[in-house]
Amino acid sequence: MHIFRKDLEHKKPVNVNVPHKEVMMCLNESTLNPFKVLRERFIDNLEKVELNRYYQPVTQELTLQLVEYVGNGLSAKNIFFGNGADEMIYYIFVAVRENHNSFALSLAPSYFDYKSYSGAVSLDIRFLGLNEQFDFDEEEYIRMLSDDNCKLGIICNPNNPTGNLFNPDKIHRIIQNTNKPIMLDETYFEFSGVTLADYISKYPNLLIVRSFSKAFSGAGLRFGYLLSNEYNIEQIRKVQTVFNSSLLIQTMVLTMLESRTVMLKHTVGVVMQRELMYQTMKSMPDVRVFPSSTNFLTFSLGKLSQDFFRYLQDNEIAIRDVGAHPLLKDCLRVTLSSEEQNDLFLKHLKDFMSRT
């Protein structure tokens, strides 16, 4: 007897399986705690908010600050926000699904939970594999998009977990050669500085998802937003839950935007640390590290990768095993953290390699 959807019987709950250690360099989190940095200003803002009410001025204030931050001639009608980029993705999946034949198209390897969330709403997902240069065949992508049952194209740029940016001309051509919605995941936008937000008014099928979890150091806040034209935002709002964003979270995000110079200064530091760590790892024999436009580096020690993964755990450092996809066989991913933690990781990497 089934009291829920039959296909749920064969699905697994969404689970992030990472080691929990003293030094967490596995989830692309920031080492900056925004509450500690902005405590006084946040409390001042919070005192103006009546948490016993559904509607408060903070929502409009946050929207205006977000519009100012995004720029590119967009307005409040082009923005929709909620509980993390994941919720934005989930709502898009709900909005595009027509029937049990519907599917979304993603590149692979890419963000792990596209598959999780599409499955949660019974939207099938198909993949076009990246090549060894972490690139893809745009003509094949467009061909797969042309299937009548394909309802959405997904491109993560920069891509997680490979860390690379795709050729912008390629993305433009894809958007121009389909009437299907294209969801561009710009979660790591602030680390790359590359965006298509200025094309929202030009491309009616463009949806851009962003997050405050990475560059704004707000992983635990769960705040993300969607950029698109007014019609698309209006349609996606029809599948949202009412009052989908906590006033407490909105107040903290407003405070972060008011102090964005402080927040983004930290991001600049992360980018500098990324380049230093990349060059150091690149110079090490038997270490293969890939260029990155994000806040992480993906690398491989070949057959020694799993031994190093366990070695770090024994030393209370957690990184991410991303080797499930054949293209990333034996690959690991390390998050850029504080200068001290980055140096600690490099020390352990050098020590490990010297013993092998």
Which of 196, 231, 258 marks a domain boundary? 258
- Whether residue 220 is found in the same domain as residue 88: yes
Same domain? 239 vs 319: no
Per the domain annotation, does 196 fall within a domain? yes
The answer to whether residue 200 sits within a structural domain is: yes
CATH code of the domain in which 317 resides: 3.90.1150.10
Q: Are residues 279 and 251 in the same domain?
A: no
Evaluate whether residue 42 is within a structural domain: no
| Phi, psi of 13, rounded to the nearest 5 degrees | -60, 150
Question: In the listed set 206, 225, 258, which residue is the last one of a domain according to the structure?
Answer: 258
Is residue 239 located within the same domain as residue 152?
yes
Same domain, 250 and 347: no
- Residue 227 falls inside a structural domain: yes
Q: Is residue 39 part of a domain?
A: no
Radius of gyration of the chain (CA): 21
Whether 1 maps to a domain, the answer reads no
Same domain? For 185 and 154 the reply is yes
Confidence at residue 1, expressed as pLDDT on a 0 to 100 scale: 63
Tell whether 247 and 311 lie within a shared domain. Answer: no
Same domain for 121 and 16? no
CA angle, 293 as apex, 289 and 297 as ends, to 5°?
Answer: 30
The pLDDT value recorded for residue 15 is: 82
Spatial CB neighbours of 172, under 8 Å, sequence gap ≥ 6: 196, 199
**DSSP letters for 128-141:** EE--TTS---HHHH
**CA separation for the pair 69, 66 (Å, rounded):** 5
Enumerate the H helices of 7-137 as residue ranges: 34-46, 57-70, 84-96, 113-120
Query: In whole angstroms, what is the distance from residue 57 CA to residue 76 CA?
Result: 14
134-141 contacts at long range (C-beta below 8 A, 24 or more positions apart)? 134/159, 134/162, 134/164, 134/290, 134/327, 135/166, 135/167, 136/107, 136/166, 138/170, 138/173, 138/174, 141/105, 141/107, 141/174
Query: Do both 168 and 307 map to the same domain?
Result: no
Tell me how far apart the alpha carbons of residues 181 and 153 are, in angstroms, rounded to a whole number.
6
Q: Of 235, 258, 281, at which residue does a domain stop?
A: 258
Within its chain, how far is the Cα of 53 from the centroid? 31
Report yes or no on 43 lying in a domain: no
Q: Which two tokens stand for residue 253?
A: 């995000």
What pLDDT does 353 receive?
96
Our count of domains for the chain comes to: 2
Task: Verify that 248 and 128 share a domain, yes or no.
Answer: yes
pLDDT of residue 194: 97
* Residue 210 belongs to domain spanning: 51-258
- Do 88 and 217 lie in one domain? The reply is yes
168 in the same domain as 19: no
Identify whether 286 is part of a domain.
Answer: yes
User: Do residues 107 and 130 lie in contact, with contact meaning Cβ atoms separated by under 8 Å?
Assistant: yes
CATH classification at residue 203? 3.40.640.10
Q: What are the 10-residue block averages of pLDDT along the chain, 356 residues in total? A: 84 86 97 97 98 97 97 95 97 97 98 96 97 97 98 98 98 98 98 97 98 97 98 97 96 98 96 98 97 98 98 98 97 97 98 91
Give CA 79 to chain center in angstroms.
17
* Per-residue tokens: 291: 């260029």
